[in-house]
């Protein structure tokens, strides 16, 4: 190939087409447990998560709900994946590998939200949410008391008692959560999120008619199993309610992944190193939504 401006432009148009095709076609699952929130600046403030009013009987003056003095903001991060193209490869028409790399970059860009959201889940036992507590914690402030959305029981199908002590206890605890005025939030979990190591147990719990002890499986079909291979713990499992207006986790997007290129024949890299560059860029972050809609167990206790 003659390396000139026109041929370089054609080459990178083809790479962009390959990248965008992979970006649109790559499988993702973060939408099952998180929501996308657009960002228009350096960061987003989420202090408003501290209080959502519920309908009440209107007697006398309206009761105005004030935001609690919680501060929670999420700053966008820069993300990139860059590839070099050797000018000699263009001259010698050895460009097939770059199409494969462009496809890989597109798939990686599409799955950036998965990476971010999975990181949120894995770190949720030690990361703060809007109320200043760890997202999964035993003493979230609610009204004049505290509430726990954290457990330690291993997910189990061995016996009905073991299933009740793990999965059943999580469902019960989530159903008990109330707002600061003592009214039930009507939390009904629908997602059982597990690592690969627990997928067989989770699937059996959701599909089997009977448990290992032969007793009727009263939890069959009560949640959808989502298996995330990016989760870092082999024992921790999570129960989530993702059907409400706010979800337990969110993906904050400032700039969607897109392809960028450096193809000027007169650039320093081309002149001194014979290298063109292209790659994906994005600006995004993730954060914690309502802890009330999630329960996490470390799975460390039998």
How many whole angstroms separate alpha carbon 208 and alpha carbon 224?
13
How many whole angstroms separate alpha carbon 297 and alpha carbon 136?
8
Confidence (pLDDT) at 69? 46
Q: What is the pLDDT of residues 25-51, one digit of tens each?
A: 999 999 999 999 999 999 999 988 876
- Cβ contacts of 40 within 8 Å, gap of 6 or more: 254
Per the CB < 8 A criterion, the answer to whether 222 and 171 are in contact is yes
Per the CB < 8 A criterion, the answer to whether 263 and 230 are in contact is no
pTM, to two decimals: 0.90
Confidence (pLDDT) at 267? 86
What residue ranges define each of the domains in the chain, with the CATH number in brackets? 5-51+70-301 (3.90.1690)
CA contacts within 13 A on the Cβ side of 240: 26
Confidence (pLDDT) at 73? 93
What residues of the chain score a pLDDT lower than 50?
A: 62-69
Confidence (pLDDT) at 20? 94
Secondary element (H or E) of residue 15:
helix 5-25
Strands 191-194 and 43-45, bridge-based pairing: unpaired
Confidence (pLDDT) at 59? 56
- The dihedral over CA atoms of 66, 72, 78, 79, expressed in degrees to the nearest 10, equals -100
């Amino acid at each position: 190939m003659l390396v000139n401006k026109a041929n370089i432009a054609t080459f990178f148009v083809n790479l962009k087409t390959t990248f965008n095709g992979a970006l649109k076609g790559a499988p993702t699952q973060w939408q099952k447990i998180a929501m996308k929130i657009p960002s228009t600046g350096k960061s987003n403030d989420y202090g408003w998560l501290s209080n959502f009013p519920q309908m009440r009987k209107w007697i006398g003056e309206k009761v105005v709900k004030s935001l609690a003095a919680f501060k929670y903001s999420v700053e966008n991060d820069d993300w990139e994946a860059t590839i070099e193209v050797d000018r000699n490869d263009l001259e010698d028409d050895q460009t097939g590998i770059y199409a494969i790399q462009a496809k890989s970059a597109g798939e990686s860009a599409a799955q950036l939200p998965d990476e971010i959201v999975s990181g949120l889940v894995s770190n949720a036992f030690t990361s703060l949410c809007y109320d200043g507590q760890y997202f999964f914690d035993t003493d979230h402030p609610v009204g004049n008391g505290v509430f726990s959305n954290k457990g330690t029981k291993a997910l189990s199908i061995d016996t009905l008692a073991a299933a009740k002590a793990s999965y059943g206890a999580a469902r019960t605890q989530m159903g008990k959560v109330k707002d600061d005025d003592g009214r039930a939030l009507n939390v009904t979990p629908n997602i059982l999120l597990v690592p690969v190591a627990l997928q067989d147990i989770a699937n059996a719990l959701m599909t089997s008619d009977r448990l290992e002890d032969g007793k009727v499986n009263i939890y069959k079909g009560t949640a959808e199993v989502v298996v995330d291979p990016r989760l870092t713990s082999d024992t921790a499992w999570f129960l989530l309610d993702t059907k409400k207006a706010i979800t337990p986790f969110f993906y904050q997007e400032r700039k969607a992944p897109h392809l960028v290129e450096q193809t000027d024949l007169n650039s320093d890299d081309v002149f001194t190193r014979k290298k063109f560059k292209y790659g994906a860029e994005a600006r995004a972050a993730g954060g914690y939504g309502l802890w009330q809609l999630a329960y996490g167990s470390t799975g460390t206790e039998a």
